[in-house]
Amino acid sequence: MTISKHIGQFYINGGWVDPLPGATKFGVENPATEEIVGEVALGTAADADRAIAAARAAFDGWTVTPLKDRIALVRRILEVYNSRYEEFAQAMSTEMGAPIEWARGAQAWAGQVHIESTIKAAEEMQWEYMRGSTRIVLEGIGVCALITPWNWPMNQIACKVAPALIAGCTMVLKPSEIAPLSGLLFAEVCHEAGVPPGVFNMVNGNGPEVGARMSSHPEVDMVSFTGSTRAGTAIAAAAAPTVKRVAQELGGKSPNIILRSADLAEAVKAGVAGCFGNTGQSCDAPTRMFVPRDLHDEALGYAKEAADEVVVGDPRDTATTMGPLVSKLQFDKVQRLIQAGIDEGATLVCGGIGRPVGVNRGWFVRPTIFGDVTNEMTVSREEIFGPVLAILPYDDLDHAVTMANDTPYGLAAYIAGPVEEAKPLARRLRAGTINLNYPDWDTFAPFGGYKQSGNGREYADWGIHDFCEIKGVVGWGA
């Protein structure tokens, strides 16, 4: 793929600028080959300061721009995005090792569909209305710091930038330095679409330097962060002294309850596919599968059949269904947690330590399934963020619900079986999104978590509301 000519620059106040003194270079690795494909600049707090200053200067003009014009701008962004769709797919395949068909059909598509959903929601939303004699008005909250992860780059950038623009906010985006190529492309798209100077800004950098400055800066009104719970708590602490709004989508350890009345083979295999998608690097992946105790061994057989169908290999090959993990750091973490599962006595159904047979480079792992898992084991407690599935037997539904809810996380949960049986169970699970029978992705459903999975909600009008202040003009109708 062609790497952006702006890879060593930042986008501030409507143009590409060089970093200020003190910035460093960071090699962007293709995790399938371990080759450095380019060097991104990692900025400093001073770079964040000038981007925030540009956003602050642009806010007063942008936030009073008519809604129809803000929507029209996001529609132009969508048009330019679509014209460069294949570039986005190639960028994400390169920077995070996504199989090219997955990069096209899921990663690049996610950016597209979320922009579309945000536009439709904005057109249908009630932005002003009367309650008695009071006028209720939704207005942009102000300058927003947007910090996005490497695992779904365009999904998260679109879920933050599009609603923030439509709400009337200005912003500074910090994509993950591990997978920055698609973020650079998105800044090029914004420029080509004609985003006014200062409304959208982008600075690359790491969390402790640029992310921390964005989170604590007194001129930032809101931080929207997607990433680990550990980083989320640090961001919340940094934001607290200035009483910013903080919206966070954090970690997960999502349960998947297979009902006795479900088609066991179908439900288990679909659950394995859900866990292994994106090489297991999804915060809402169904990583804990609960099956009736007497069906446990049969379920392990179906799970292994599904794992055996996974094709791990070169992301450029259209036959590949699983690429590498994003980095050596992630590879080492997943290896450690697989070893913990073995050491703690879980049954290793397939996979295990090391790269797949015949692979000697790249951060590829063996799709791994554990059976006979108990709720106290590490593989059932920690977010692994790799293709590792834990299968736990349950005695009855009360037992399954108790184990499912026994986690500090609450991002998503899954139930497989007859819908009328699943509905009352869905009300008992403590998670922000409950998926019944592996439904299609609904980009109009609220997305966000309970407990340590975060706060706030993304997607469509839910995301727009997070970037709005609510004003009551009392006496309007007197």
Which residues participate in catalysis according to the annotation?
249, 283
Say if residue 438 is exposed, middle or buried (CB neighbours under 10 Å; 0-12, 13-18, 19+): middle
Query: Rounded distance, CA 330 to CA 210, Å?
Result: 22
How wide is the angle at C-alpha 243 spanned by C-alphas 241 and 249, nearest 5°?
105
Nearest Cα neighbor of 412 from 380, 459, 448 is 448
| Two structure tokens written together for 134 | 């009071």
Cβ proximity of 108 and 185 under 8 Å = no
How wide is the angle at C-alpha 202 spanned by C-alphas 177 and 141, nearest 5°?
120
Nearest Cα neighbor of 33 from 313, 333, 318, 353 is 313
How wide is the angle at C-alpha 352 spanned by C-alphas 287 and 333, nearest 5°?
65
Cβ proximity of 425 and 221 under 8 Å = no
Helix, strand, coil percent values for the chain (each to nearest 5): 45, 20, 35
Nearest Cα neighbor of 431 from 454, 398, 463 is 454
End-to-end Cα distance, the chain: 62
